[in-house]
């Protein structure tokens, strides 16, 4: 397709000006503000637009290929010609997007290009581990690279805009969408939010391999009551600012061009009508000038929320709050033109949103080259899909995402010379479970299962005895006998248990965190044979597997590991890769402990085993089954006592260095994620018992030692005081350094007031 240049598109000089702005160092992009060239271009275009065309730019219908949400009428080609569609949801594929783009550019009155948005959550065709799994890597560079691969593939398929990363903090594993985020911690969530934004958007939005990143869901969606999707989030202002907002701020500071509103309400105000948080906080206080999109029918849902009586009122509330794009419900384009013309909806509000939509298209370079993914016969699309390099990246990410929870008796790694291996469980050859949920463009035939990975790793010398044992979620135990018989014949056993991928996703919430069906009984029956058993979990949330602890000697959390999950699992099981991942979320003993997270606060009666009237349970420990940051290795690490550069800091020079020597005391090379936590010991408001403030990966050979140094500054020591001002108060601080949140060594220092 021939290259197109919009009549009002920037000259090469203007392109250079915008490119210079967007080519700032990827690691620290500030919020993007419109350049004079961008403003002049958008002003000129808006001056030519009718009310209907302006509202059309705010309209995003579902397109061909959309598979989310309730059924809705797809926008047709005549709507494109009339300028009634600004973007599409769920349409991808170079041939289709280029055909629709050609209609918009060459057959509509103003020739404004379309934006194509898609759910590229953890890879496109090359599906990576689910985001919760990627977060277990504690490796921002690897996470950024995974997003970069996803962007390259998605852009080649005609996509301009991804609805990722999900940066919701989630402390309730009943919530199905915990699988899409980074877990429970605002610091880890912020670091990985920024990494994903940088990966998706690249160094220059105008390049054909860049896509707009969308930080979602704004805000506190992960705090849904009872873990029920779409539910109320009843949280304090302090919790909002300390826990749920930081990852959004990090995404914006990394240059995120889009944010999606969340389905929940906060303190009686649905987020799609929340002007104080969107217009006042996001836009005015934080200075963000990007594009805010509704979630699926989120504007329309202001009616069942009970704050809008009809579609026009819902649209007016959404637009006034600063929701720029109406996804699916088509309220803006169908119900607001008459209201705008009658003065019931101010034109200034419409113009502000239209400007942000056009800014996004300008920054992507679509006015200069709307056909950036269009090549003869789809050559670009084919050349950049499921490449060997992309699959290798997915395998590496999966390797770094697997958490070794237990390894009693050093059952793992298994020897490749094992003569007979029993492979048991309903997920051993479950292709869909490799992809997990929200793998919208993923194809099952692209995935390699654990059974296939084991066969490839072992070859013909090892006899494999395969037994399903049970289905994922049935109560049928008739397969137990075959599974036990297989285990008895084998030298070692590998079990693959967990959830169906549809159990961890949007609208898929659970009241139990146990292994579904009879899988727990199956695991206990097989373990009772006395054979060396390694259990591999495939799931999208923390599971309450406490009854297996001490019975099943080795447990590997593999999550839903992506298209290369099978080979990556084999790599770890046989020791070609030494596991190094850590839990980004706490595992409870049972669902009754929820919510449970490491950065809790003490009460006036902290838990004590000696005292009855303290904050604990009768039937299980108050501590978790596996703590945040937990993860074993095939080697062992020793931490020396940490040291600080200064015992006393003054308010005018709040910089502290914390160093710790880490030694590999085992017989294998390995990587350790060294974690640093901070506690403000006495403050004007209560503080968490500890908060993550740094982590580093360190690779060590057997017997090797390295000194790991962290630098703490104002942001690491600061808190919101009783007036919600960000301050560092004088007093003592404790620093904890170690391999998990509950296994650390500590040192203290003081901050003086002068």
Active-site residue list = 295
For the stretch 519-552, what's the b/e string if a residue is b when 16 or more beta carbons lie within 10 angstroms of its beta carbon? bbbbbebbbebebbbbbbbbbbbbbbbbbbeeeb
Q: What angle do CA 484, 489, 492 make, to 5 degrees?
A: 85
Axis crossing angle, helix 311-321 with helix 347-363, rounded to the nearest 10: 60
For the stretch 402-422, what's the b/e string if a residue is b when 16 or more beta carbons lie within 10 angstroms of its beta carbon? bbbbbbeeebbbbebebeebb
Q: What angle do CA 174, 215, 223 make, to 5 degrees?
A: 30
Does an H or E element contain 395, and which? helix 388-401
Q: Find out whether 494 and 523 touch, Cβ atoms under 8 Å.
A: no
Alpha-carbon span 474 to 538, nearest angstrom: 17
Written as six digits, the tokens of 47 are 């001056």
- Work out whether the CA dihedral 102, 104, 109, 111 comes out positive or negative: negative
Residue for token pair 């349409």: 91
Q: Find out whether 427 and 499 touch, Cβ atoms under 8 Å.
A: no
The pair phi, psi for residue 204, each rounded to 5°, is -150, 115
Half-sphere exposure at residue 488, Cβ-oriented, CA atoms within 13 angstroms: 9
Alpha-carbon span 663 to 643, nearest angstrom: 16
Alpha-carbon span 387 to 393, nearest angstrom: 10
For the stretch 292-303, what's the b/e string if a residue is b when 16 or more beta carbons lie within 10 angstroms of its beta carbon? bbbbbbbbbbbb
Alpha-carbon span 316 to 418, nearest angstrom: 68
Contact residues for 492 (Cβ-Cβ < 8 A; gap 6+): 411, 414, 418, 421, 422, 531, 532, 533, 534
Locate the DSSP E strands across 355-499: 403-407, 420-424, 463-467, 492-498
Nearest alpha carbon to residue 583 among 192, 174, 182: 182
Q: Find out whether 222 and 262 touch, Cβ atoms under 8 Å.
A: no
The pair phi, psi for residue 731, each rounded to 5°, is 145, -170
Contact residues for 345 (Cβ-Cβ < 8 A; gap 6+): 315, 316, 319, 320, 336, 339
Residue for token pair 């805010």: 292
Q: Find out whether 655 and 711 touch, Cβ atoms under 8 Å.
A: yes
Contact residues for 588 (Cβ-Cβ < 8 A; gap 6+): 173, 513, 542, 544, 594, 596, 624, 625
Residue for token pair 């919009």: 6
Written as six digits, the tokens of 511 are 């009241």
Axis crossing angle, helix 519-527 with helix 480-489, rounded to the nearest 10: 30
Alpha-carbon span 158 to 483, nearest angstrom: 47
Nearest alpha carbon to residue 140 among 193, 180, 179: 193
């Amino acid at each position: 397709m021939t290259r197109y240049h919009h009549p009002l598109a920037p000259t090469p000089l203007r392109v250079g000006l915008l490119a210079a702005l967007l080519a700032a160092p990827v690691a620290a992009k500030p919020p993007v503000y419109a350049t004079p060239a961008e403003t002049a271009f958008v002003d000129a275009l808006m001056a030519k637009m009718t009310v209907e065309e302006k509202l059309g730019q705010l309209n995003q219908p579902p397109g061909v290929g959309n598979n989310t949400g309730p059924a809705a009428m797809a926008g047709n080609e005549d709507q494109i010609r009339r300028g009634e569609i600004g973007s599409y949801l769920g349409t991808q594929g170079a041939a289709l997007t280029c055909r629709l783009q050609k209609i918009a550019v060459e057959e509509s009155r103003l020739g404004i290009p379309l934006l194509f948005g898609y759910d590229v959550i953890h890879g496109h065709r090359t599906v990576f581990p689910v985001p919760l799994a990627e977060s277990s890597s504690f490796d921002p560079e690897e996470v950024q690279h995974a997003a970069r691969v996803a962007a390259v593939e998605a852009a080649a398929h005609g996509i301009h805009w991804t609805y990722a990363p999900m940066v919701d903090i989630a402390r309730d594993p009943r919530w199905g969408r915990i699988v899409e985020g980074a877990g429970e911690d605002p610091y880890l969530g912020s670091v990985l939010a920024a990494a994903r934004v940088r990966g998706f958007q690249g160094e220059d939005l105008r390049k054909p391999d860049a896509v707009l990143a969308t930080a979602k869901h704004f805000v506190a969606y992960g705090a849904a009551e009872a873990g029920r999707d779409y539910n109320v989030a009843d949280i304090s202002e302090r919790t909002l600012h300390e826990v749920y907002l930081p990852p959004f701020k990090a995404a914006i500071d990394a240059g995120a061009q889009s944010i999606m509103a969340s389905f929940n309400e906060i303190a009686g105000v649905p987020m799609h009508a929340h002007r104080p948080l969107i217009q006042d906080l996001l836009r005015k206080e934080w200075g963000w000038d990007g594009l805010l999109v509704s979630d699926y029918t989120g504007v329309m849902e202001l009616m069942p929320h009970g704050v809008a009586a009809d579609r026009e009122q819902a649209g007016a509330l959404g637009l006034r709050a600063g929701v720029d794009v109406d996804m699916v419900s088509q309220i803006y384009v169908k119900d607001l033109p008459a209201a705008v013309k009658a003065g019931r909806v101010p034109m200034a509000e419409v113009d502000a949103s239209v400007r942000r939509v056009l800014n996004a298209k300008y920054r992507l370079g679509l006015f200069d080259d709307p056909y950036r993914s269009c090549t003869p016969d789809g050559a670009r699309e084919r050349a950049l899909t499921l490449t060997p390099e992309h699959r290798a990246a997915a395998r590496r990410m999966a390797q770094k995402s697997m958490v070794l929870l237990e390894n009693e008796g050093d059952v793992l790694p298994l020897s490749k010379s094992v003569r007979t291996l029993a492979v048991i469980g309903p997920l051993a050859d479950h292709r869909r479970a490799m992809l997990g949920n929200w793998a919208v463009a993923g194809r099952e035939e692209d995935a390699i299962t654990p059974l296939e990975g084991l066969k490839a790793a072992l070859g013909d010398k090892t006899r494999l005895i395969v037994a399903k044992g049970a289905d994922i979620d049935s109560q049928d135990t008739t397969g137990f006998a075959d599974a036990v018989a297989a285990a008895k014949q084998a030298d070692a056993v590998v079990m693959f248990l967990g959830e169906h991928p549809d159990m961890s996703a949007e609208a898929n919430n659970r009241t139990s965190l146990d292994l579904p069906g009879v899988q727990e009984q199956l695991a206990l029956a097989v373990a009772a044979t006395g054979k060396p058993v390694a259990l591999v979990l495939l799931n999208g949330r923390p599971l309450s597997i406490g009854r297996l602890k001490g019975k099943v000697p080795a447990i590997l959390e593999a999550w839903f590991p992506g298209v290369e999950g099978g080979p990556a699992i084999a790599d770890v099981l046989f020791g070609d890769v030494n596991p190094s991942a850590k839990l980004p979320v706490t595992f409870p003993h049972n669902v009754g402990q929820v919510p449970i997270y490491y950065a809790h606060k003490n009460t006036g009666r902290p838990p004590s085993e000696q005292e009855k009237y303290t904050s604990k349970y009768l039937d299980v420990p108050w501590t978790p089954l596996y703590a945040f940051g937990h993860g074993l290795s095939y080697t062992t690490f020793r931490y020396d006592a940490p040291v600080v550069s200064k015992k006393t800091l003054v308010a005018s020079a709040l910089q502290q260095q914390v160093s710790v020597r880490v030694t590999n005391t085992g017989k294998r090379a390995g990587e350790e994620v060294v974690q640093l936590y901070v506690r403000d010991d006495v403050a004007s408001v209560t503080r968490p018992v500890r908060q993550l403030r740094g982590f580093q990966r360190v690779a060590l050979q057997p017997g090797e030692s390295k000194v790991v140094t962290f630098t703490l500054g104002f942001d690491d020591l600061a808190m919101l005081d009783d007036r919600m001002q960000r301050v560092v108060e004088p007093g003592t601080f404790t620093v904890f350094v170690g391999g998990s949140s509950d296994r650390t060594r500590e040192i203290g220092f003081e901050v003086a007031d002068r």
